[in-house]
Amino acid sequence: MSELSPLASSPIETSSGLTLPGQIKFSVTHQDTRTRARRGLLQTPHGVVETPVFMPVGTLATVKGLTQADLEGLGAQIILGNTYHLFLRPGEEVIRELGGLHRFMSWPRAILTDSGGFQVYSLSHLRKVREQGVEFRSHLNGSKHELTPERAVEIQWKLGSDVAMVLDECTEFPATEVVARKSMELTLRWAARSQQALQALRLLSPPDAVQIGALFGIVQGGTHPELRRDCARALVQMEHEGKGLDGFAIGGLSVGESRPITYDLAAEAAQFLPHNKPRYVMGVGLPEELPQYVALGIDMMDCVLPTRNGRNGYLFTSQGRVHIRQARFTRDPRPLDESCACLVCRRYSRAYLRHLFISGEMLGRALNSYHNLFFYLDTMRRIRETIASGEFDRFLSDFTPRVQGEAP
């Protein structure tokens, strides 16, 4: 089992062993002179996260196909959990009784939890959105539930998230300006209620209780730049009024719009978000997109693609994509990526990886997921290094065309 790095090994603990609450602290340490890219440090109750950072998705308190020791060895600094899924199974009370999500899943580093808004959004035939919140039926057994801004915060409180998200309504694509504005304004009202709920919980709970470290607002507004601006400004105003928003996410992207539009919308929102708070684009993206978002001033990203694509035999390398099921790899003795230092590329051939995948062996899917996640995390490490050294623009222009095509 890998040892924790010094940056991620200093949780603050009480005599009872529970992690102390505490809002995050964020500082920018390097600023690129040619783009908006920046490098920083995000202090959480479970250690420091170096940004820009990619966050592996662990929806059900597990990153599929990988152990926590694997994640530590890969250098994952922060992972995601999902409020919707953990609320349904095993339930936030079970997790709270077992010491919070960190202890439940034996993960000592930081955790960000999504509010569940996107998952409810995806259940279009099983939900009803009202001012009070969202009424939905479980995808597991059809049971009826209601998720309000207050309830989403309460669940994340019991999970003990380092970073929690406000409940938002993800605007459907395509949406008219009228529909998108109505949805965006609902998200803003829910953000205010989420913040008030967190304040109330902090006042009522004992100081050593498992609880939320920080709360992020979410910028919505569909594909309408003016709505993205309005939403960002309104959330920043909430923060200026002392209403407790510790960071800002940009949500509702990559839901059907073209990639250039996605970049434009992220850029539109990011320019109105404060310099001294972390910025998070939710649910992105492909490897070539990572430095593009960093160039817009984004600090945090997440996506299921590394592990989902790995399980399906779709691998990312420094020379492009590899579809490992292809017959051309049957006798290929080369490593998956000759430039990659991960244990998969150091040990196994393309022929063996293809054999595992074609045979339906679990090991193949696990190795593929490991490599893909290494590639993502190593890409972010190199991005941080080039921002610090003043060479990010060169990395940006070189990296994207190399990784987009099919590998030889």
32 is catalytic: no
332 is catalytic: no
* CA–CA distance, 320 with 300 (Å, rounded to integer): 24
* Strands laid side by side in the 38-44 sheet: 25-31, 38-44, 47-51
Q: Which of 32, 114, 168, 230 is catalytic?
A: 114
Residue carrying structure tokens 């992220």: 266
**What residues does 112 pair with on adjacent strands?**
80, 163
DSSP assigned state of 13: B
* CA–CA distance, 180 with 54 (Å, rounded to integer): 28
Q: Please give the C-alpha separations between residue 250 and each of 19, 79, 122, 271, 281, in angstroms, as whole numbers.
A: 28, 18, 18, 12, 5
In a 10 Å sphere around its CB, with 0-12 CB exposed, 13-18 middle and 19+ buried, how is residue 346 labelled? exposed
Question: Residue 280 in 3-state DSSP?
Answer: strand
Q: Is omega for the bond preceding 260 within 30 degrees of 0, making it cis? A: no
Amino acid at 7: L
Q: Which of 70, 162, 246, 302 is catalytic?
A: 302
Amino acid at 244: G
Strands 127-129 and 53-56: unpaired
Which residues have a Cβ under 8 Å from the Cβ of 200 and sit 6 or more positions away?
Answer: none
Q: Which residues are catalytic?
A: 114, 302
